[in-house]
Amino acid sequence: MIPKEELAAITLIGQREKLCRDDLTAMMLAGEESLRMLIREPTAKLIHFIKANLQDEDQILSFIPRFEMPKADFESQVLREMRIVLRENFDKISEKTRDELLPWNEFESFYHSLENFEYPHKDKLLEFIKYFFLDHIVSPDLLMMNYMAFKEHLLSTRPPGQTPEKSRNGSNLRSGRKSEGSMSDNASASADGMMKSRLLATGGSDMDDEKHAEEERMLDIAEQCFMRIADLLHII
């Protein structure tokens, strides 16, 4: 029996933390503490699957869904757009809850209820919000997002690159914050550190966004002119 739902959920952590499928496989085989950094409450089905393949790492790897990780410049672009698109709904977003964490299914329902939100890629943006603000996975049916970090990003006025995001690899998984009696103090401390460093510091003010878009447009025009001149010179 293959625990496909759990393995699919685990790929969200891999994508978010910039871990490859080999990394996820190694963490699952490293023991209970490491496994619970990927999924807090692994089912007996998942544990049995891992134990049955302790000597066959490729077997586990073959059932982990493939995933891609967006490039840094694309991430920055999406984060800027996210703040611009959602600014008309920020009051509702701010009033939703003061809790740090929010179940993903609850946020998903709330997201679809937002008004003044005309955007052609609404579903795709929701996927990216999950990618950027997923906090940890309790089970395949219970994902927790960092709602506080999401709100702080929408309010962010820091220019790009001022507070670079730290590496998300290794034992600093946010999803590895202390789970009930399962993790050592050192592991939970490193994961807590990752949680703090994960609060996003990207994008500028709305004026900065407009200026950046205008600069990109002018660069595109200049590039087109240059290519046209090059073509004419070639003809001559």
* Per-residue pLDDT tens digits for 124-144: 899 999 999 999 999 999 999
Q: Residue 87: which pLDDT band, with cuts at 50, 70 and 90?
A: confident
pLDDT at 156: 78
Decide which of 182 and 119 is more confident. Answer: 119
> Rounded to an integer, what distance in angstroms lies between the CA atom of residue 107 and that of residue 92?
12
pLDDT at 137: 96
Share the mean pLDDT of the chain. Answer: 77
Residue 38 has pLDDT above 60, yes or no: yes
Residue 231 has pLDDT above 60, yes or no: no
Residue 161 has pLDDT above 60, yes or no: no
Encode the chain in three state secondary structure. Answer: CCCHHHHHHHHHHHHHCCCCHHHHHHHHHCCHHHHCCCCCCCCHHHHHHHHHCCCCHHHHHHCCCCCCCCCHHHHHHHHHHHHHHHHHHHHHHHHHCCCCEEEHHHHHHHHHHCCCCCCCCHHHHHHHHHHHHEEEEEECCEEEEEHHHHHHHHHCCCCCCCCCCCCCCHHHCHHHCCCCCCCCHHHHHHHHHHHHHHCCCCCCCHHHHHHHHHHHHHHHHHHHHHHHHHHHHHHC
Decide which of 189 and 173 is more confident. Answer: 173
